Amino acid sequence: MKILILHGPNLNLLGTREPQVYGSTTLDEVNQKMMDLGKALGAEVSCFQSNSEGALIDALHEARTWADGAVFNAGGYTHTSVALRDAISAIEIPVIEVHLSNVDAREEFRQRSLISAVCKGKVGGFGWRSYELGLRGLVDIIKGR
Ligand code: DQA
């Protein structure tokens, strides 16, 4: 089983970016935790981050050819990107939407997600553990449990 962990804009700054909102764990640490967890769950995890919408779309298109599913934090594009929504919808592998923060408890503009409706599930508010919960759920879905 192969899984893509995909991070959108500004998530390269994790650890130093608004730690009171997003925590002090760095992106490299999140990725290491997900690769370790993947190994324990019998999944090969690959991680990619981009600040560019087009590169994220390309990563989703490529995932269609090699991945069984994806865990995706689209960052600010969650609230704005029809193109990312269309990419998720097009690739027909299960995608789990994740957020470190609880977006529903924040500003109104964060309470609208353009991607939720085309994702298999959604996790938010658990800091880096949102990725862990998302990965565990995705692996179970793929295994048909
Ligand atoms: C985020 C929430 C988004 O609203 C924000 O733009 C981000 C991070 C989160 O993980 O909590 O960049 O996706």
CA–CA dist 134, 132 (Å, integer): 5
Tens of pLDDT along the chain (145 residues) come to 999 999 999 999 999 999 999 999 999 999 999 999 999 999 999 999 999 999 999 999 999 999 999 999 999 999 999 999 999 999 999 999 999 999 999 999 999 999 999 999 999 999 999 999 999 999 999 999 7
pTM above 0.95, yes or no: yes
**Total of domains in the chain:** 1
Burial label, 59 (beta-carbon count in 10 A; 0-12, 13-18, 19+): buried
Q: Is 22 a catalytic residue?
A: yes
Question: Cα of 38 to ligand 1 centre, how many Å?
Answer: 23
- Catalytic residue (one of 7, 22, 77, 131): 22
Q: CA neighbours within 13 Å on the CB side: how many for 98?
A: 29
Q: Is 99 a catalytic residue?
A: yes
Domain that holds residue 26: 2-142
Question: Cα of 78 to ligand 1 centre, how many Å?
Answer: 8
Please give the pLDDT value at position 145: 77
CATH code for the domain in which residue 63 is found: 3.40.50.9100
Please give the pLDDT value at position 65: 97
